[in-house]
């Protein structure tokens, strides 16, 4: 995983010459020579970065239709950089990593090299789909009572204590995800895909209202650290909308990483992050407690990005492919679809189809809480959770006339046959985090390769801690563990373990070929966002833009169901008559009453693509294709 992508001399040479070599789709290394129609090499007398200036700007357009490949993300600069890679002959993996690196610049509160994520890749040539688990890991030295305040003997409050802390920081997995993806399936080198984002960080991006609002939401946390205050609140002031935000430290970090792919695991950065986590650079004026962390350089040396098989299930003729544990996305989305499989949702009233969606989501979340954790530490019954017989038996719990009291108990994965019977009650755990500011991107290339990639630093602003001189925020992913230790809990805190994630990058195949790729941010609402979009598109017959745009509700087996304002306006009365208790979406970390911010690509006949981003959520996203029309 950590072997160099190229000899160092070659890396340096490539970093100075961003012209791309033409390669065969899916090959592991560039090929010499140029193919017809390939992008030209470096032009004599033109500075290496000059070509980027001629790239057309990508507007915030929610839908783009065309051919030749497409990119969709929450940010126009990130989409432009990914599209540039595709236009110059790179494949979907190259473009996905380049887009993710750009999001680390323009969406620093959502993603970056201080976090982790999950990468799903479908190879058109082989027909195989593989995934990378780039989830963060807990330090080896972390005690099981790390989330307990030694002064009181009680668990730290989730906010602000645990969220804004060193104890919540896990070993970042994003750098290893990028190098692993490029080594195995990419056609471009790390310097080639990082160079545009390094330039973007150096030159800066234009501050929009979302970036300013997110900074304002985090003002107290950011002001608690000298490094974070200096970068994001210079002079104690919020960035002005329309101003240019520059991050030269991040540009330098990207360039150092391009030269040394091992930088984050065996270089100087592990020492710097460990020191920052164990002795956070707090200001003298902050009142926040900022519990210290346990990371050491050895934790970074032990880290691996896991290349693993995906989850698979079938739904109405489609093969649904997702992330296996440590993510719960693939099992929970897949189980909910299995529960819904036996119902003619398209023939129901809108209220009844939503009622079944809400009940299926709650049932799948009950099983998620009871059974899913890091597969390296927990025997997760993936085959049982994704069994159609198990789903049919769980569907027996849905009463079309009345919502079940929540929380519902988990099903019994050791005793099921698909027939309706009174289940033995099984304990489960609940999940309340919702508007976690993750980000998702989706890419397809001219050859039919597809990537769905969700990456994060957890809360909006992560831990709130910027590594000195590096320009990126550290994650607070360890708060995804259960906050109290229970030996029976599959998501209990353990040294070296990955916390259970909700990230759910998903690819659907039809007749063995990609039909739809999608994903979303949003903490535990990621699962329900992906599930609801699939319900809208497949069961209700909505077009993809409408399926993404439609108002959302998030059933997660809690006593109440979070819902967006427009969903409440349209459906609250009829759903409450069925026993659902709907409440407005939102939490303490964001001023927006939104659920998710999805991106998706639908692949049609003859290479035609429909590329979709959010029109409004998170300020609207940017979808683009290589050849519009």
Closest CA to 485 of 161, 144, 149, 170: 144
DSSP annotation of 535? I
DSSP annotation of 479? G
Residues in the chain: 629
- pLDDT tens digits along 581-598: 999 997 655 556 899 999
Q: Is residue 333 classed as helix, strand or coil in its secondary structure?
A: helix
Q: Is residue 372 classed as helix, strand or coil in its secondary structure?
A: coil
**Mean pLDDT over each residue of the chain, to the nearest integer:** 89
User: What would the two tokens of residue 562 be?
Assistant: 């979070």
Q: Which residues are catalytic?
A: 438
User: What's residue 214's pLDDT?
Assistant: 94
User: What would the two tokens of residue 173 be?
Assistant: 């997995």
User: What would the two tokens of residue 3 be?
Assistant: 């072997």
Q: Is residue 610 classed as helix, strand or coil in its secondary structure?
A: strand
> What residue has token string 């017959």?
541
Contacts of 193 (CB under 8 A, 6+ apart): 85, 90, 94, 97, 98, 101, 178, 182, 186
Q: Is the pLDDT of residue 418 over 90?
A: no
Please give the average per-residue pLDDT across 469-496, as a whole number: 94
List residues bridging with 134 in a β-sheet: 117
**What is the architecture of the domain spanning 70-171+304-503+518-591?**
4-Layer Sandwich (3.60)
Gap between the terminal Cα atoms of the chain = 40
CA distance 557 to 541: 27
User: What's residue 98's pLDDT?
Assistant: 98
Q: What is the 3-state secondary structure (H, E, C) of 152-183?
A: CCCECCHHHHHCCCCCCCCECCHHHHHHHHHH
Domain layout of the chain by residue ranges: 70-171+304-503+518-591
Name the band, by pLDDT with cuts 50, 70 and 90, for residue 149. Answer: confident
Please give the average per-residue pLDDT across 109-114, as a whole number: 96
Torsions phi, psi for 226 (to 5 deg): -60, -40
- 351: Cα within 13 Å, side-chain hemisphere: 16
- pLDDT tens digits along 502-513: 999 999 999 999
List residues bridging with 308 in a β-sheet: 131
Name the band, by pLDDT with cuts 50, 70 and 90, for residue 156. Answer: confident
- pLDDT tens digits along 299-342: 999 999 999 999 999 999 999 999 999 999 999 999 999 999 99
CA distance 242 to 240: 6
Model pTM score:
0.90
Q: Is the pLDDT of residue 58 over 90?
A: no
> CB count, 10 Å around CB of 510?
12
Q: Is residue 72 classed as helix, strand or coil in its secondary structure?
A: strand
- State what percent of residues in the chain have pLDDT above 90: 81
User: What would the two tokens of residue 289 be?
Assistant: 């407690």
Q: Is residue 234 classed as helix, strand or coil in its secondary structure?
A: helix
Q: Is the pLDDT of residue 222 over 90?
A: yes
Residue spans of alpha helices (H) in 218-321:
219-222, 226-232, 248-259, 263-266, 269-278, 297-301
Torsions phi, psi for 391 (to 5 deg): -60, -40
CB burial of residue 426 (10 Å; 0-12, 13-18, 19+): middle
Handedness of CA 460, 463, 467, 468 (dihedral sign): positive
- pLDDT tens digits along 347-384: 999 999 999 999 999 999 999 999 999 999 999 999 99
User: What's residue 29's pLDDT?
Assistant: 34
- pLDDT tens digits along 274-308: 999 999 999 999 999 999 999 999 999 999 999 99
């Amino acid at each position: 995983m950590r072997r160099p992508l190229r000899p160092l001399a070659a890396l340096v040479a490539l970093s100075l010459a961003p012209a791309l070599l033409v390669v065969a789709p899916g090959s592991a290394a560039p090929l010499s020579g140029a193919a017809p129609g390939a992008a030209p090499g470096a032009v004599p007398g033109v500075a290496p970065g000059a070509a980027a200036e001629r790239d057309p700007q990508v507007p915030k357009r929610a839908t783009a239709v065309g051919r030749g490949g497409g990119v969709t993300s929450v940010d126009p600069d990130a989409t432009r950089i990914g599209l540039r890679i595709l236009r110059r002959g790179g494949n979907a993996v190259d473009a996905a990593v380049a887009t993710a690196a750009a999001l680390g610049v323009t969406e620093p509160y959502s993603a970056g090299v201080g976090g982790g994520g999950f990468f799903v890749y479908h190879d058109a040539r082989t027909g195989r789909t593989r995934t990378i688990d780039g989830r963060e890991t807990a330090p080896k030295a972390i005690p099981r009572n790390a989330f307990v305040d030694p002064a009181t003997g009680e668990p730290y409050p989730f906010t602000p204590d645990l969220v804004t802390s060193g104890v919540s920081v896990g070993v970042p997995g994003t750098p290893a995800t990028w190098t692993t993806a490029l080594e195995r399936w990419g056609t471009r080198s790390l310097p080639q895909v990082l160079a545009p984002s390094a330039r973007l960080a150096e030159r800066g991006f234009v501050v929009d209202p979302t970036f300013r609002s997110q900074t304002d939401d985090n003002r107290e946390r950011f002001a608690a650290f000298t490094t974070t205050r200096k970068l994001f609140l210079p002079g104690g002031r919020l960035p002005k909308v329309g101003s240019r935000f520059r991050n030269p430290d991040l540009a330098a970090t990207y360039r150092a990483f391009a030269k040394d792919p091992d930088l984050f695991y065996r270089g100087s950065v592990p020492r710097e992050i460990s020191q920052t986590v164990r002795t956070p650079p707090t200001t003298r004026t902050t009142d926040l407690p900022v519990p210290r962390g346990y990371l050491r350089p050895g934790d970074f040396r032990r880290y691996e990005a896991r290349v693993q098989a995906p989850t698979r299930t079938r739904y109405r003729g489609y093969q649904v492919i997702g992330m296996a544990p440590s993510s719960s996305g693939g099992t929970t989305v897949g189980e909910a679809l299995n529960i819904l499989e036996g119902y003619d949702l398209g023939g129901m009233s809108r209220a009844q189809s939503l009622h079944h969606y809400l009940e299926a989501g709650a049932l799948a979340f009950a099983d998620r809480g009871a059974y899913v954790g890091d597969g390296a530490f927990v025997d997760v019954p993936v085959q049982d959770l994704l069994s159609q017989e198990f789903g049919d038996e769980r569907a027996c719990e849905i009463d079309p006339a009345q919502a079940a009291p929540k929380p519902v108990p988990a099903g019994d994965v050791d005793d099921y046959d698909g027939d309706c019977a009174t289940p033995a009650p099984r304990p489960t755990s609940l999940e309340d985090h919702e508007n976690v500011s993750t980000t998702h991107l989706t890419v397809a290339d001219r050859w039919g390769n597809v990537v769905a990639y969700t990456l994060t630093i957890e809360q909006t602003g992560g831990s709130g801690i910027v590594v000195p001189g590096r320009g990126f925020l550290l994650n607070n992913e360890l708060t995804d563990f259960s906050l109290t230790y229970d030996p029976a809990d599959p998501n209990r805190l353990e040294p070296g373990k990955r916390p259970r994630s909700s990230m759910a990058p998903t690819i659907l195949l039809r007749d063995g070929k990609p039909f739809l790729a999608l994903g979303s941010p949003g903490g535990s609402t990621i699962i329900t966002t992906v599930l609801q979009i699939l319900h809208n598109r497949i069961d209700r017959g909505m077009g993809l833009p409408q399926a993404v745009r439609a108002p959302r509700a998030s059933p997660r087996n809690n006593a109440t169901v979070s819902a967006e304002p427009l969903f409440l306006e349209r459906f609250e009365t009829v759903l409450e008559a069925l026993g659902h208790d709907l409440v407005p979406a939102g939490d303490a970390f964001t001023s927006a009453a939104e659920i998710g911010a999805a991106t998706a690509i639908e692949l049609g006949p003859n290479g035609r693509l429909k590329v979709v981003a959010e029109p409004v959520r998170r300020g609207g996203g940017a979808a683009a294709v290589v050849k519009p029309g």
